[in-house]
Amino acid sequence: MHSAIFLDRDGVIIENKSDYVLSWSDVEFFPQALKALQKISQSPFKIVIITNQSAVGRGLITLHVAQALNRRIEQEILKHGGRVDGLFMCPHSPEQACTCRKPQPGLIFQAAHQLDIDLSTSILVGDALTDIFAGINAGIRRTILVKTGRGSQQAALPEMDRMNEVLIYDTLLDAILKQPEFLE
């Protein structure tokens, strides 16, 4: 079994958009995130992106367009020397009450099954409490909140006071540099 680093997409790798990422022109990479992905590309960790894309369930874009955007994001990461071992997307709206929409752990369980991942030795990085809760709900012991995207606002929420096991860093690159096992 493999350890993995689970990464949220919007707010960790690319800018979070209040009106959704609906086309390639909406995609804005965090330069430090591309550098972080390049730095961990040689690590033994599986690199897995997990993303809620409710714009599909809300009828704002088609599933085909969302999948094409994800493929293009993966290609851009590869172009910058990074690696993506899997990308798992929940296309449902919150009202659809699925098991794959974070904070539910369904996407993480799908990835673990398909990629032979040991969740107890894996790490999750997100910019929202829903990401953190998805990791905890899946049995991931190490969770990291980054302050990019919605992270600064989420870090200030009262719930964070009760979650002292969550590490908080400014960016994905900061988180990667502070986890020596990623750079071995």
CA-CA distance, 54 to 5, in Å (whole number)? Answer: 23
Q: How far apart are CA 8 and CA 127, in angstroms?
A: 7
Q: 10 catalytic, yes or no?
A: yes
**Contact between 35 and 44 (Cβ < 8 Å):** no
Rounded to the nearest 5 percent, the helix, strand and coil shares of the chain are 45, 20, 40
Active site residue 170: no
Q: Which amino acid is at 106?
A: G
Active-site option among 10, 85, 131, 174:
10
Identity of the residue numbered 181: E
Catalytic residue IDs: 8, 10
